[in-house]
Amino acid sequence: MSYAEIAAQARADTRTLVRVERRPGHAVVTMSDPGKLNMLSAAMTVQLQDALAELTADPEVRAIVLTGADPGFNAGGDLSLMADTVRRLADPADEEGATMPWRWIRYQFGGCVRLIAGSDTLVVSALNGAAAGVGLALAFASDLVVASERAVIVPAFGRLGLLPEVGTSWHLTHRLGYQRAVQYYLSGEHIDAAKALEYGLVNEVVPHEELLARALWWCERALATPEHAQLMAVPLLRQAASMTWEQALVMEEFAEPNCFTTKDFARSVDAMLGRR
């Protein structure tokens, strides 16, 4: 089956594998195939990509919570799809070869994380259970990661003979440092929520029953921030992580004066001066 055929078959799947709940100013996106721990099948992947594309393009949506249906967040890519790909590589009639999985990884898996990381919309991943493979990539690409006490970070790459994927190598080395990232990869150690917080892989850990409420609280914090400030600060902070101090300083110098011209800033200053 070609890349185009797999994509078409995925779009023809009538199951609802990604649920979207719109609320004023924000939305909750739930990956929903709990019997398979919300594994990213082809159908779920295209539904997730479509949902993210629609929401991040909507100026009325300033924040998104991304989570999974209990008991897991996301178990990563569909192993059966990977196995089918390997079998196809031995077929002399196969014309796409290794470019077929490359296309899927780049345009579907990569497409999802680029929508998260490339948008000015705040994305909060709410880890309600195990997160592995591409599921980790989705969480790490987010702006904030809130974890349930039941959350587990699962390094399945090495055991499967795979590499950290879809941006995960960058996130792991930046968050853990090179040597600890190598340790994480080779050990295959499952990292529970408490240790993930200690390692800086998640922002905070909360009781499981409070997870969604806490993720939504961060959405409310975003909505309470003047819109221009959020839209400018998110890309600024993302880019600053990979800049030198001087580059970040110059970027701030050009961006900050724009804030002075807004009514939100003027009202805030007037209120503070009035309190004095």
Please, what is the Cα angle at 25 between 23 and 26, to 5 degrees? Answer: 60
Distances (CA, A) of 162 to 53, 93, 131: 28, 26, 16
Residues 147 and 239 in one domain: no
pTM metric for this prediction: 0.90
Residues 109, 141 contacting (CB under 8 angstroms): no
Q: What is the extent of the structural domain holding 263?
A: 227-275
* 224, 240, 256 - which closes a domain: 224
Same domain for 213 and 93:
yes
Same domain, 183 and 261: no
Are residues 150 and 255 located together in one domain of the fold?
A: no
Q: Looking at residue 36, what is its pLDDT?
A: 93
**pLDDT values of the chain reduced to their tens digit, one per residue, 276 residues:** 688 888 888 899 899 999 999 999 999 999 999 999 999 999 999 999 999 999 999 999 999 999 999 999 999 887 777 666 666 666 677 776 777 778 888 899 999 999 999 999 999 999 999 999 899 999 999 999 999 999 999 987 777 777 788 889 999 999 999 999 999 888 888 999 999 999 999 999 999 999 999 999 999 999 999 999 889 999 998 888 888 999 999 988 888 888 888 888 888 888 887 876
Q: What is the pLDDT, as a whole number, of residue 26?
A: 97
How crowded is residue 230: how many other Cβ atoms within 10 Å of its Cβ? 18
Same domain for 172 and 76, yes or no, is: yes
- The verdict on 49 and 185 lying in the same domain is yes
Are 68 and 20 in a shared domain? yes
Pair 95, 154 in one domain: yes
**Do residues 179 and 71 share a domain?**
yes
**Do residues 208 and 255 both lie within one domain?**
no
User: Which H or E element spans position 161?
Assistant: none
The CATH number of whichever domain residue 130 belongs to comes to 3.90.226.10
Contacts of 230 (CB under 8 A, 6+ apart): 62, 120, 122, 222
Number of structural domains found in the chain:
2
What is residue 77's predicted lDDT score, i.e. its pLDDT?
A: 81
- The residue among 112, 149, 151 whose CA lies nearest residue 134 is 112
Residue 10: per-residue pLDDT: 85
**Same-domain check for residues 201 and 231:** no
Same-domain pairing of 158 and 257: no
Q: How far apart are CA 244 and CA 267, in angstroms?
A: 34
